[in-house]
Amino acid sequence: MSSILVVALNQRGQSNPQTWELLGAGRALADASKQPLLAVLIGATAQQAQELVERGADRVLWTGHPTLQNFVNELYAQIVLETAQKEKPSHILLPSNVMGRSLAGRLAVKLEAGLATDVSRLDGGHAERNHYNGNLKAAVEFSSPIRVLTLQPMAFAPALRHSGRSGKIEELSFSPASTRAEFVSFQAEEAGEIDLGAAEGIVTGGRGVGGADGFKLLREFAHTLGAALGATRAAVDSGWIPYRHQVGLTGRTVSPKLYIACGASGQIQHMAGMSGSANIVAINTDAGCPMMQQATIAVVGDLFQLIPSIITEIKKRKGAL
């Protein structure tokens, strides 16, 4: 019997919030095609496997082998391949992050499978995704029995947890093959940073933020909202904030529920990375710039005056002041 296979990837022992979205999308596919929902959970614990069952998986195969604490493409691919060859899933669902994108290419070739990345909707036989940097949507069709899909973060509703839901949990026996890529070390990003790809809200600063000091204000704004901090290329190239915060054609592609663009004009190369946001708030002195024209809510004014007032107002409403 075939199945839907969710690849649940821990990162350094931590579960990835996008896993719940994969389970949500996987459960819907499984119900529609009357197949079981299988999850393979890598770098984890039995307790985490139980949570996958409570969030909709019928069967969870997990391993916590010590070589899997950090991401090594060949080893992770070996586990998913061994599982897929045995279980013959019709769909393999992965997150659209560096791990998911690394694995997707290897899995597709080894399983002779069609591949679509950053999928935002699944309907019938089609996978919908953006191409031309968000200027067009594409409906992708497959001619292979297995499809490998990476899902765009925030595009699918996360599976809710039903404690007491039962399913099968099996620990995989994994003997790592020798690899030609070896993990050496990890240097963590500044503590307390929320990753752009996993954020429901993003506060982005552009050239209008004026300098590294201006980004302190933006960071405080993001912190007040529990949002991640983004930037335009103009701000990154000026050295005000590291590249990992860049959104756009040559940076990250994001699709949060709320994107707040402060002092960013909305050039096409920037819009390429964020036009999929559900709601855009623009704060800008120039009411006529493209970002203000595209925004769900456009606030006309000087960001240095507005943002401190907005922070105060939010704190007030939260009862913190």
Ligand X SMILES: Cc1cc2nc3c(=O)[nH]c(=O)nc-3n(C[C@H](O)[C@H](O)[C@H](O)COP(=O)(O)OP(=O)(O)OC[C@H]3O[C@@H](n4cnc5c(N)ncnc54)[C@H](O)[C@@H]3O)c2cc1C
- Spatial neighbors of 272 by CB under 8 A, at least 6 apart, are 133, 134, 135, 248, 249, 253
Instruction: Give the residue with the Cβ less far from ligand X, 153 or 266.
Output: 266
CB of 199 to ligand X, least distance (A): 17
Instruction: Give the residue with the Cβ less far from ligand X, 49 or 234.
Output: 234
- Label residues 146-158 b or e (16+ Cβ within 10 Å = b): bbbbbbbbbbbeb
Pairing of strands 3-9, 89-95: parallel
User: Which one, of 36, 176, 56, lies nearest residue 8 by Cα?
Assistant: 56
Please, is 125 exposed, middle or buried when counting C-beta atoms within 10 Å of its C-beta (0-12, 13-18, 19+)? Answer: exposed
Applying CB under 6 A, which of residues 24, 167, 206, 256 lies at the interface with ligand X?
206
CB of 169 to other proteins, least distance (A): 27
For residues 260 and 205, give the distance between their C-alpha atoms in angstroms, rounded to a whole number.
Answer: 9
For residues 23 and 77, give the distance between their C-alpha atoms in angstroms, rounded to a whole number.
Answer: 19
Q: For other proteins, which stretch binds (CB under 8 A), given 40-48, 53-61, 125-133, 165-173?
A: 125-133
Report the half-sphere exposure of 72 (CA within 13 A, side-chain side).
19
235 binds ligand X (CB under 6 A): yes
DSSP string, 74-95: HHHHHHHHHHHHHH-EEEEEEE
User: Which one, of 273, 283, 290, 287, lies nearest residue 230 by Cα?
Assistant: 273
Applying CB under 6 A, which of residues 217, 284, 295, 310 lies at the interface with ligand X?
284
Instruction: Give the residue with the Cβ less far from other proteins, 79 or 295.
Output: 295
159 binds other proteins (CB under 8 A): no
258 binds other proteins (CB under 8 A): yes
233 binds ligand X (CB under 6 A): yes
User: Which one, of 60, 72, 1, 50, lies nearest residue 26 by Cα?
Assistant: 60
Applying CB under 8 A, which of residues 8, 44, 272, 274 lies at the interface with other proteins?
272
**Binding partner of 112, given ligand X, other proteins, none, CB within 5-8 angstroms per partner class:** other proteins
Show contacts with other proteins in window 162-191 (CB under 8 A). Answer: 179-189
If DSSP codes are grouped into helix, strand and coil, which group holds residue 294? helix
295 binds ligand X (CB under 6 A): no
**Binding partner of 263, given ligand X, other proteins, none, CB within 5-8 angstroms per partner class:** ligand X
Applying CB under 8 A, which of residues 33, 46, 88, 139 lies at the interface with other proteins?
139
20 binds other proteins (CB under 8 A): no
207 binds ligand X (CB under 6 A): yes
Binding site for ligand X (CB under 6 A): 206-208, 232-235, 246-251, 263-265, 267, 269-270, 273, 283-286, 289, 302-304
